[in-house]
Chains A and B, each alone.
Chain A
């Protein structure tokens, strides 16, 4: 935008509204302003100043210089009104010597400077120059923010249009930190049976990132139309970033622009998924089997723009019959870490939020752009089971059980805000028992042995399913006989299991209890009994 740089003043130094009730002082102020090269518009009190401001229309003032003591409204009251009309307009208050309280009031009302009377012309001009620069900086910033928001709106429209939400069952949440950002995804049908899903994260979260993001999307779609292979597209953009975009001497002052990309090809005819990953968080599978093999996808590769010879990691696995795949950018992981919750639970909350003020206000604290995309992979195009937590804990970590439990509680309460907190507390208590048992006995408190905990939410029956799996061989005993003895003879063993049996709606035990699957109804009167009858 030529001539709109915040650091340049126009040939006239700026348009100033001067407000002074005393006629002689007002004339003196006007002369000072004109001799210093400002366009001066004068008013004799606050009311006249309001009129002048309203009449100014597109010829906006760059600064207001006002006396404090005037008949009717004070200068501070005028400034308060002006702030409501134009928050970018800077102002200077004229005060008598020693009026400390007035100075404070003026600053609170929005004045950016003050000058004690009597003043010298040079002093006044210098203060006005500073105020005008401040006004122009604010206006430039305001305009940039508006442009960023407009770009962001365009991005969201493009994402919605390219996601094919109606036909593919894709659900997403896109939250750019500054209105527009570098995270994006696209869904592209390669043919009747094959679908490409591409999630990418341009480094940075500003307009430059948004620009590169849009450029990459355009290039990618164009090359896909020409049936270019995914690896060739990624290689092309890697070379482009290295040789053209990041073409400056290697140094530490400016980080190169990079793009973390994960591309998935869902081939329904072949029944397989192919993953191309260049530095993005691994996509995750979720479905009826709680420990569905997500780890096969955990391969990385470097982001595009780092090294000339880097190649995406490519991996294939069988397409599950049910469930879905979820992808997110690293902004989600950073924000989950800040909140002390699992990535999965934050992802679920974001995908399900609808005009949820609390969740949106939490997003404002996010350190980076956030994008989460979920797509169904089964034939029914539904994601009926959503993982809320999938973590491994080392056997030696059992003394940290209070921290683990607090994390489960935070994660569940974030993901399921409508669930009864008391019920979630009971579930976490059972999980504590099962996890402690797995870490102490299954893993024998060893740092190189770990127990896996998976929590999944079944949307239809409103039920939580929990898996606790340890590498031990479990412990075989007759539960019914033991429970009776535990009560009558007050023996201590396995009291944790009685607690789990009491609160869970169902308990499935495999490998002598080394692998437990628990189900907890969240709605009283649902298919399972809640509370359990004794």
Chain B
């Protein structure tokens, strides 16, 4: 996972679906990012997850988001998710995740958009 420290923001690009078969690998990577001394020193106020490459998220992926939200409450950062896929947007809306994190609808990357 690529990440970048911006003013008051830790931006992380999630390169695929957050589902049961991938979530453990992502969990380890998030752990590594959040333990990065530079990240700890900067103590960003926001963690922005770029989920534009994700088509779907199952309960395991939702639980990872919940873990990050909880961690953010402990460390003092808010979670923001950039979401492009309509199914993913609806998943976050229907499971009320949009009440505990900031869901920002964005345009789908051109290379991922399905032809009409």
Residues of A within 8 A of B (CB): 399, 401-402, 421-422, 425-426, 429, 432-433, 436, 487, 490, 492, 495-496, 498-499, 502-503, 531-532, 534
Contacts and interface: CB of A to CB of B under 8 A. Distances in A.
Contacts of A433: 58-59
Interface in B88-112: 90-91, 93-96, 99-100
Interface residues of B, number: 24
A244 B83 CA distance: 70
Contacts of B86: 422
B19 to A, nearest CB: 7
A429 B70 CA distance: 25
Contacts of B56: 425, 429
B46 interface: no
A492 B19 contact: no
A401 B20 contact: yes
A426 B100 contact: no
Contacts of B93: 534
Nearest to A498: B95
A426 B58 contact: no
Interface in B1-35: 19-21
A487 B96 contact: yes
B114 interface: yes
Contacts of B59: 433, 495-496, 498-499
22 contacts: A422-B86, A422-B87, A425-B87, A426-B90, A429-B87, A433-B58, A433-B59, A436-B20, A487-B96, A487-B99, A490-B66, A496-B59, A499-B58, A499-B91, A502-B91, A502-B94, A502-B95, A503-B90, A503-B94, A531-B90, A531-B94, A534-B93
Nearest to A501: B94
Contacts of A422: 86-87
Given A401-B21, A496-B58, 17 more contacts: A401-B20, A425-B56, A425-B87, A426-B90, A429-B56, A432-B19, A432-B20, A436-B58, A487-B99, A492-B66, A492-B67, A499-B94, A499-B95, A502-B91, A503-B90, A531-B94, A534-B94
Nearest to A531: B90
Contacts of A495: 59, 62-63, 66, 95
A429 B20 CA distance: 11
Residue of B21, B70, B99 with most chain A CB atoms under a 10 A cut-off: B21
Nearest to A421: B114
A429 B114 CA distance: 18
Interface string B53-93: 00110110011001101100000000000000011001101
Contacts of B95: 495, 498-499, 502
B21 A399 contact: yes
8 A-B pairs closest in CB distance: A502-B94, A496-B59, A495-B59, A492-B63, A425-B87, A490-B66, A495-B62, A402-B21
Contacts of A402: 19, 21
* A399, A421, A429, A487: residue with the most chain B Cβ atoms closer than 10 Å: A429
A464 B36 CA distance: 48
Nearest to A437: B59
A95 B81 CA distance: 71
A459 B58 CA distance: 29
B69 A499 contact: no
A400 B70 CA distance: 30
Contact of B69 (A490, A498, A534): A490
A435 to B, nearest CB: 11
A502 B59 CA distance: 12
Contacts of A498: 59, 95-96
Contacts of B70: 490
Contact of A534 (B21, B58, B96, B100): B96
Nearest to A497: B59
Contacts of A534: 93-94, 96
Contact of A432 (B58, B67, B90): B58
A140 to B, nearest CB: 44
A499 to B, nearest CB: 6
A432 B87 CA distance: 14
A115 B62 CA distance: 73
A531 B87 CA distance: 12
Contacts of B90: 426, 503, 531
A426 B66 contact: no
Contacts of A496: 58-59
A144 to B, nearest CB: 41
A181 to B, nearest CB: 36
A103 B58 CA distance: 62
A441 B19 CA distance: 18
A492 B66 CA distance: 8
A436 B19 CA distance: 11
Contacts of B58: 429, 432-433, 436, 496, 499
A381 to B, nearest CB: 39
